[in-house]
Structure 1
């Protein structure tokens, strides 16, 4: 069984998923907010995604972590490194629950998990698959230093692929 890390940043704790994270995760995936991920999703589809995000830790040594503020316990989103049959390469992804955008949370969380992947897993490159219409995620990938990689294999034909290379960033 893989040890799932808990990562801390200046403002955040990235912690392993728990069963009580499910209701908020499902609400997000069932909403129009999930449109850039292929949603909205049914309860069954969302449950499969929730379970896969956790199971990847044992299968591939990576997976999802829930994002929370250091002074709270409720998750405000999720950040993850996905891999397996649905992902041509290790993918750094993120999502924030409603009302959490515009605070730098996703950037801080993604930077911490990206750096963990490079330091602990020795992954020299990651990609982020981004829906071309998801301007916030495109800007975030660029803020993280990722560059478009038009030659990379895609999860979906319409995806933009942003490549994160091996340079470790300064602390968030």
Structure 2
């Protein structure tokens, strides 16, 4: 059962749905992997990772949007998270993505981010979105380019340090 009011979105291969208690272990494992989660905001302890999972649930209740869990239609396995993120101190709403170990290089992040972005434009009425990417995260920058986003500026993110803000095309450009 979803812990949020998140809608269920689908693509050809994926289901984007609200986080459930059963997803906590996969998200926590990702956040505790210091190398893999470095560009997202790795957690130093299990308790901090659990708090981030709960923060995402609260984010949904506060904003009406947040990170969806990416579920593989074929297997029901959680493959990552993607959605719209805008916690306190963020410069503006962003579309973000993460895939869990074993799901890289399959186009899952692209497919999920595209669907989450479309939902934000069509259903939430957003007119612009960004992605915040740490400068060393070349894979995320490549995905941002593939999604049509362009580098706009570098800024100081109080959670991540130096961060790059990438601007996505607006809904009119994607129609």
TM-score over 0.5 for the pair:
yes
- CA distance in 2 between counterparts of 1:169 and 1:47 reads 36
CA contact (8 A) 1:81 1:92 kept: yes
Structure 2: state its 5+ residue gaps.
none
Q: Which residue does the alignment assign to 1:3?
A: 5
**1:45-66 deviation per Cα after TM superposition (whole angstroms, max 9, x unaligned):** 1111111111111101111111
Q: Which residue does the alignment assign to 1:22?
A: 24
**Residues 54 and 40 of structure 1: is their aligned pair in 2 closer, same or farther, counting only changes over 3 Å?**
closer
Q: Does 1:45 align with 2:76?
A: no
TM-score after normalising by structure 1 = 0.91
TM-score after normalising by structure 2 = 0.89
| SS at structure 2 position matched to 1:87 | coil
Moved over 6 A (4+): none
Specify which of 105, 119, 137 is matched with residue 134 of structure 1. Answer: 137
- CA distance in 1 between counterparts of 2:109 and 2:166 reads 16
Q: Residue 16 of structure 1: CA displacement?
A: 0.9
Q: Which residue does the alignment assign to 2:90?
A: 87
CA contact (8 A) 1:124 1:165 kept: no
Structure 1: state its 5+ residue gaps.
none
Q: Which residue does the alignment assign to 1:121?
A: 124
Q: Residue 42 of structure 1: CA displacement?
A: 1.1
Alignment map for 1:69-88 (pairs within 5 Å) = 69-88=72-91
Give the length in aligned residue pairs: 169
**1:78-116 deviation per Cα after TM superposition (whole angstroms, max 9, x unaligned):** 002111313221011111111111110000000000000
| SS at structure 1 position matched to 2:38 | helix
- CA distance in 2 between counterparts of 1:169 and 1:10 reads 19
